Structure 1
């Protein structure tokens, strides 16, 4: 699987588990419009660290938080 597909799968899975209605998963979609809350993102980041073996947020201190789905994916792709 690719980093992108792992991330999008986690978005879908966590949204379902947390009873959230997930917005469109296009690169341009702002993360704020996905319908996920901070707990959902914490779960996603934790699971991605397990799946991908990297936590880019822990190693890129001071880096701006991704704003869109595409930026989030690239942030992980660059870390892996």
Structure 2
């Protein structure tokens, strides 16, 4: 499964639902706070990804980490997904 594409698709869906406008293109170094989603949008995104992937990696972390870029966000989900499969 391509986690990056799942995250991108979920971001687009959440932006449409929450009436936010994502910047384009969303790249690895895109700062999350500048992507176009607001805080409610990110809460919805995490919920959407939990529904699609069956995990919320942020609740499973021993140390609280706040990703600042799109790439960091994807890595957290990729690592969580890999742990789930292991």
TM-score class, shorter: over 0.9
Larger-gyration structure (1/2) = 2
Match of 1:22 in 2: 22
Match of 1:76 in 2: 77
CA RMSD in angstroms comes to: 1.1
Residues 42-78 of structure 1 show CA distances to partners (whole Å, capped at 9, x for unaligned) of 1110111111111101000423211000000011001
What aligned pairs does 1:1-80 form with structure 2 within 5 A after superposition?
1-23=1-23, 24-80=25-81
Q: Distance in 1 between matches of 2:36 and 2:66?
A: 17
Q: Please identify runs of 4+ aligned residues in structure 1 that moved more than 4 A.
A: none
Residues 12-65 of structure 1 show CA distances to partners (whole Å, capped at 9, x for unaligned) of 111111121101310000001111111101111011111111110100042321
The alignment's TM-score, normalised by the length of structure 2, stands at 0.86
Unaligned stretches of 5+ in structure 1? none
Q: Distance in 2 between matches of 1:47 and 1:11?
A: 9
- Aligned pair count reads 80
